[in-house]
A and B are shown apart, each in its own frame.
Chain A
Amino acid sequence: MDRTATIIGIAYLVVIVVGAVLALVLGNSTFLRKPIDREQVERREQKWLIVVVAMLVALLFATIFFAPYGRSAPKDAQNVAVTAQQFGWIITPSRLKANVPVVFTLRSKDVNHGFGLYDAGDTLLAQVQVIPEQTAQLVFTFRKPGTYRVLCLEFCGAGHHQMVSTLEVTQ
């Protein structure tokens, strides 16, 4: 699993365990027959709002700067032209070097496609959408030599799942 995916998985697991405990406490409380102090609970709603906003702001500032937009590549980058079309990828060149940044310049000949870069174990490494009439760019550096796979990650028709190509990365 990719590092980001691991972070997401652990974070989600933690919050749903907290949520499950809250749900059990809530369900169980209905058998206690002890009324609540309504005004106090309504006041606490404002505090809850502040807590929620604080958590969201924290998450926003922790993540927004890592958006994949506008990444520039160094001069010595390897340039790769990718043409997407139903149902295949034309990638030139398809033999690349490890540890040298790669700039993929992507265009589509027909419909929307998604350029999904996978390693040999089918772990998703990077992706970007390829839209007709537009040029997309993806900067990525391969760390390990080997065979990588490109899968289509935007539904493009009956052969969508067959739209697979490979990349060879050497030292």
Chain B
Amino acid sequence: MSAMPADSRHEAVAEEAGAVTDEQRAWARGLALRYSLTSTAILFAAGLMGVLLRDSQANLGRLHDNFWYAMMTAHGLAAFVGWAGFAVMGFAFWVLTQVGVPLRRFGRAMAEATWWLMALGAVGILITTLIFQYAGSWVFLYPISFHSAGHWGRWTNFFFHGSVLLVGLSIVAWSVSICHTVVGPALHAVSERVANRFGVALGLGYLWPKRFATNPKSVPYAVIPLAVIAIDMIIATLPLAVLLVIMMVESLSPGVTVNALVAKNILWWFGHPVVYLLLFPAVAIYYYLIPRYAKRPLVAGNVIAIAWAIAVIANVLVWAHHIYLDYPQGSIQASLNTAMQPVTFALTIPSALSLYSLGMTIYRSEFEWNAASTALFLGLVGWLLAGLSGVVNATIVFDNQVHNTLWIVGHFHHMALLNIGFAVFGATYAFLPELTGKKLYSDKLGKAHIWISFWAGMGAFGIWLIEGLEGAPRRYSVLPARWDTMNQIAVGFVLVLAAAQLLFAANVVQTLRGKVAKERTGREAFAAVTSPAAMMLVTLALIFVGGIVGWVIGHYTGHTKTVKVGAATPAAGGATGAAGAAATAGDATRGKAVFASAGCIGCHTLKAAGAAGTVGPNLDQRRPAYALVVQRVTNGKGAMPSFKGRLSDDQIKDVAAYVSSLAGK
């Protein structure tokens, strides 16, 4: 049982926390709890979407293509920012308060604004994607929003980009709140100058004690990563905010455009640091909680300050490692990309040193193994895994191989779930009793959740790494058949992973209700054997069974797949609605692909498809009906060849649906 009163656990910080008033602590409790519960709710929404996405890829309940991509967009934003980011942002306020750096009035206002902006933005994103079918992926690479293949319109664009803007502003508000808090009197910086106080918050006092003097105590380590990321996120987010505003304007007045390459750089100028918006507050959590369970202060020499000094600069100068394979002629992108490989390498130093410090803090300590500390320990393992696959991505010649394959997806799920997510789980188990004043419902249930999640996650994400090395592309609603079997095996892991989160939900809900599990109740019987080795075996067995079941189901449904190509969605309704025979008519989206790849473009003019051929009839002028297109494509006429045999019947229906819906527009 670890659900002992939190106060007895950390004498180490009791003195530091002495400077915080009861009112300040009570306020921070309420705020952190609100962040925690909201983000947990988003976790369940995002997790459910993840399960549906992967089931669909394994052909268990195939979703319509655009809906799959819309859900992918929602899943990415919700899981990454709405859950993991939101959660660590909230816990950051609690960690600061606990190390004796409470928020002051303006900081509090900003922290409130952060919550509201994020909540509103998250709701907007869920509505515009899941209901209004925005499916440009979370990176919405310009100008994809404005080439929706008829699936979403300008108001959806306006509100989607507006919702993302709210999320961006939320991040800025959070950063301002943190900056305001760390330059306050609580750090005991001697200097009155704001710049010097920022230096103190960044830990520079560990390198230059006189220049960045504090009296009497040095800066708590947990403050440093928070100060670093708060400064960086302001720099990183503002250009994206401008881009989002321009895209909102373009949604309603199409004349306004942006250079696609510049937009791509701006997106990643934000897109890289936002990963560290998750990582660095998670590091603050590790810095704060690992010493608590190891019962000794963090093992960190002054050298760790060097790491964070590198981080604050390098973090905003590595964005181009996401676009190593963009090197168009006559641009400076290739030089920029080359320069960013060493800078990205430098950015691994904060991770390498932090892992050393945290590992050595645990090493030969009297570490208390409970649900929270187990989650944090496994989170460090996840960090190592994600860091190592990250070094691969950071290396141009390797990225050339794995870029936009499922390897990347495996990498960032290690990062987002096994590292950040586990820090969030650990912090939830550790902080929930402190925030609510109630004991944790069951530590054993928590351990079961953590161990099952770890191994199921290892399986589900490991499969992505392997598929990626084989060249499997990412962001495919339907993967080439070669990967069917592996996708079906993955479903087993995914379902176990999802089921494990129900244990987490039960634990949180019961804790909030003030319940405490009795020893060895029926509910806990299965979790009675909680030695790591036994848990490992049980989990592997579960995963194995799950994998087989998943494979069997997938295998059989796979062979009876009757993917009605003609199943048009409401979004594509314009394409097939006229005929009123959606079940038999083709799918205009697929038809667009057929039109482009079958060679139609070479001979016909169809403005909507960008085709300007003059060999055959101008389709914009002729505006052929659906049946006529099917007839001509199948049998040919004059110079028009017959495509019977070259295209399947379904493909012909698709291209007919596409042409008949768009011609003349």
| Chain A contacts to B: CB under 8 angstroms | 1-2, 4-6, 8-9, 11-12, 15-16, 19-20, 22-23, 26-27, 29-30, 32-36, 38, 41-43, 45-46, 48-49, 52-53, 56, 59-60, 63-64, 66-70, 85-90, 109-112, 114, 116, 118, 121-124, 126-129, 131-137, 151-165
Name which residue of chain B comes closest to A155, CB basis. B475
Q: Spot the interface stretch: B280-288, B420-428, B478-486.
A: B478-486
Residues of B within 8 A of A66 (CB): 396-397
Given contact pairs A30-B366, A56-B345, A158-B589, enumerate 5 new A-B contacts (beta carbons under 8 Å).
A60-B341, A67-B334, A124-B401, A131-B260, A162-B593
Q: Mark B333-353, 1 if CB is under 8 A from A, else 0.
A: 010011001100110110011
B53 to chain A, nearest CB (A): 13
- Output the least CB separation between B534 and chain A (Å): 15
Question: By DSSP majority rule, is chain A's interface helix, strand, loop, or mixed?
Answer: mixed
Are A4 and B597 in contact (CB-based, < 8 A)? no
Q: Are B300 and A26 in contact (CB under 8 A)?
A: no
Known: A27-B377, A33-B366, A41-B360. A155 touches B260 (CB 8 A): no
Q: Within 8 Å of chain A (Cβ to Cβ): is B216?
A: no
B299 within 8 A of A: yes
Taking a contact as CB atoms closer than 8 A, the residue among A38, A155, A157 that contacts B148 in the complex is A157
B209 at the interface (CB under 8 A from A): no
Q: A4 and B137: CB pair below 8 A?
A: no
**Which segment, of B17-25, B39-47, B387-395, faces chain A?**
B387-395
User: Which residue of B299, B327, B396, B590 contacts A136 across the interface (Cβ within 8 Å)?
Assistant: B327
When the two chains form their complex, are residues A45 and B304 in contact, meaning their CB atoms are under 8 A apart?
yes
18 contacts between A and B (CB under 8 A): A5-B402, A8-B402, A16-B388, A19-B388, A45-B301, A56-B345, A86-B149, A110-B610, A122-B482, A124-B405, A132-B143, A134-B260, A136-B327, A151-B473, A153-B403, A153-B404, A153-B473, A159-B590
Cross-chain contact A63 with B398 (CB below 8 angstroms):
yes
Q: Is the CB of B392 within 8 A of A158?
A: no
B141 CB–A CB distance under 8 Å: yes
In the complex, B616 has a CB within 8 A of chain A: no
- Within the complex, the shortest CB–CB distance from A6 to chain B, in Å, comes to 8
| B264 CB-CB contact with A under 8 Å | yes
Chain A residue with Cβ nearest B404: A153
Convert B265-290 into 0s and 1s, putting 1 for each residue whose CB lies closer than 8 angstroms to a CB of A.
00000000000000000000000000
Q: How far is the CA of A46 from the CA of B362 in the complex (A)?
A: 18
Contact, CB under 8 Å: B331 / A134: yes
The answer to whether A111 and B143 touch across the interface, beta carbons within 8 angstroms, is yes
Residues of chain B contacted by A60 (CB below 8 angstroms): 341-342, 345
Q: Which residues of A contact B69 (CB under 8 A)?
A: 155, 157-158, 160
Q: Is B13 at the interface (CB under 8 A from chain A)?
A: no
Tell me the nearest residue of chain A to B368, going by C-beta. A30
User: In the complex, which residue of chain A has the Cβ closest to the Cβ of B348?
Assistant: A56
Tell me, in angstroms, the Cα distance from A111 to B261 when the chains sit together: 11
Q: Are the C-beta atoms of A122 and B480 separated by less than 8 Å?
A: yes
The segment out of B92-100, B443-451, B464-472 that lies at the interface is: B464-472
- Write the nearest CB–CB distance from B570 to chain A, whole angstroms: 13
* B367 contacts the other chain (CB 8 A): yes
Cβ A16 vs Cβ B65 within 8 A: no
B66 proximal to A (CB < 8 A): yes
- Chain B CB within 10 A, most for which of A85, A124, A158: A158
Closest-by-CB residue of B relative to A66 is B397
Minimum distance in angstroms from A122 CB to a CB of chain B? 5
CB <8 Å contact, A163 and B141: no
Instruction: Decide yes or no whether B235 CB sits under 8 A from chain A.
Output: no
* List of A residues within 8 angstroms of B598 by Cβ: 88
Q: How far is the CB of B85 from chain A (nearest CB, A)?
A: 22
Asked whether B597 lies within 8 Å of A88 as measured between CB atoms, the reply is yes
B592 within 8 A of A: yes
For A15, list chain B residues within 8 Å (CB). Answer: 388
Q: How far does the Cβ of B530 sit from chain A's closest Cβ, in whole Å?
A: 14
- The CA of A156 and the CA of B596, in the complex, are separated in Å by 14
Kindly report which residue of chain A lies nearest to residue B402, judged by CB atoms. Answer: A8
* Cβ-neighbour of B326 out of A20, A45, A124, A129 (below 8 A): A129
- A159 and B470 form a contact (CB under 8 A): no
User: 8 smallest A-B Cβ distances: which pairs?
Assistant: A88-B596, A124-B471, A88-B597, A134-B328, A87-B593, A30-B367, A162-B593, A158-B66
Decide: A114 and B301 in contact? CB cutoff 8 A. Answer: no
Question: Quick check: is B161 within 8 A (CB to CB) of the other chain?
Answer: no
Residue in B301, B365, B385, B482 whose beta carbon sits within 8 Å of that of A19 in the complex: B385
| Chain A hits for B299, CB < 8 A | 36, 38, 41-42, 45
User: Contact between B404 and A30 (Cβ–Cβ < 8 Å)?
Assistant: no
Of the candidates A33, A64, A70, the one whose C-beta lies within 8 Å of that of B396 is: A64
In the complex, A29→B532 CA distance in Å? 14
A157–B366 CB distance below 8 A: no
Chain A nearest Cβ from B358, distance in angstroms = 10
Q: Does B323 contact A (CB under 8 A)?
A: yes
A35 to B299, CA, bound (A): 13
Q: Are A158 and B65 in contact (CB under 8 A)?
A: yes
**Which residues of B lie under 8 Å from residue A153 when comparing CB positions?**
403-405, 473
- Interface contact A163-B593, CB-CB below 8 Å: yes
**Which residues of the other chain, A, contact B141 by a CB distance below 8 angstroms?**
111-112, 154-155
**B364 pairs with A133, CB closer than 8 A:** no
- B331 & A16 in contact (Cβ 8 Å cutoff): no
